[in-house]
Structure formats: structure tokens, C-alpha cells
Amino acid sequence: MVVVVGNPANTNCLTASKMAPSIPKENFSCLTRLDHNRAKSQIALKLGLTANDVKNVIIWGNHSSTQYPDVNHAKVSIQGKEVGVYEAVKDDSWLKGDFITTVQQRGAAVIKARKLSSAMSAAKAICDHVRDIWFGTPEGEFVSMGVISDGNSYGIPDDLLYSFPVVIKNKSWKFVEGLPINDFSREKMDLTAKELSEEKETAFEFLTIA
């Protein structure tokens, strides 16, 4: 299993996969777990919970400022009951506005504040990513990983390294299928796919020149 962290992580991962055709492309993944963890933390902070009380957030697309943190299918545990995030937060404008931009721009905000990157947060996310590959995802939970888009059911073009919700069992990931996608989500998912297609085109131009 190859995990790519260095930016642009998605396109670097796709390029690495193309350069190593003897390794199955499903064995390549890139880190969007840091964004996933940040999304969970933002919801937890808003509700006065811990991040462990939040599950099934999704990061769609690129590990960049076009990524789409989606909580339409996420749940929070409040006093032993599972509640949908939209129902729990009761602030749709925040969930569709500041929440998304905060997660998208969190890395840049940390660098601006600390003059350093969030290295420990990234290290924790790498541990989470690798742990789930090794031990699998808990029953009823899914996580975000940048993986090859081939065969997805969400209208994302094939041959992109795109972050999807996945479940993992026996060290093998599968797309979470059948999640309903509303118009707001569709637009955000397509926008980040477009950026990845453009990145791929640029990267492969350089490769052919080299």
C-alpha cells in the first residue's frame, strides 16, 4: 500500500501510480484524513462534543481549497442517541458556508498563525489512515480517502485520484455506494473534479516533456 501525503497529494499519487504500473492502482491512496478530522472537529466544537462523537463526514475531491466537506450523511452522538448533523446543528447557513470554508482553508490558517505547518495533525491523520487500512473501518462507519475514481457511482470521471467515502475490510477499500447527492453537493463535487482533471493534464504534460 502506497500513501501519498506531499502536495499536490492527489495528483502526486496519481502520477506515482502511473509510474509504477506493476502495482495495482487500488493500492495507491492519498491523505484527505487530515481534512476529514478537521471537519469532525469543527462539528464537535459547534456542538460542544468531542470529535469521537461525530462520524461519517465526507471529504470529496482534492486535498486543496476546492475540497468539499460534506455532512449531509454525518451523525453525532448526543446523550447516547445518534442524530443527523443538520438536525443537531440547526444552522444550515453555517454548514453550507463558514463550516466549509474553515475546513477548506484550515491548513493555510494554521501556517499563517504558527508560521509552520500542522505537522502533528498531519502525522495523526496518517496514523488514522494507515490504521484503518490495516484494521478496517468500524461497523457502520466510513472514512475519507483519496483513491482511484474508476467505477465510482457518483459521476466522477475515471482515472482521477479523488477523495471518496470508503469502507475498509481485509485491507481492501470499497466506495460507499448509494448516498443521495443533492444539487448543492453535486456542484461542489464537480468543481473539485474539474480542478483535479486540470492538475492531471498539467502534470502529464510535464511527464511527456521529461
Task: State the cell numbers at 196.
Answer: 483535479
Q: Choose, from 36, 63, 73, 129, the residue flagged as catalytic.
A: 63
Could you give the C-alpha distances from 190 to 9, 72, 155, in angstroms and in order? Answer: 18, 17, 9
Is 63 tagged catalytic? yes
What does the alpha-carbon distance between residue 87 and residue 35 come to, in Å, rounded to a whole number?
22
Let me know the angle formed at the C-alpha of 116 by 111 and 117, rounded to the nearest 5 degrees: 70
Report yes or no: 85 and 75 within 8 Å, Cβ to Cβ.
yes
Peptide bond into 8 cis (omega under 30): yes
Nearest to 57 by CA among 151, 185, 155, 202: 185
Report DSSP state, residue 54.
E
Report DSSP state, residue 61.
B
For cell 489512515, the residue is 129
Give catalytic residues, as residue numbers. Answer: 63
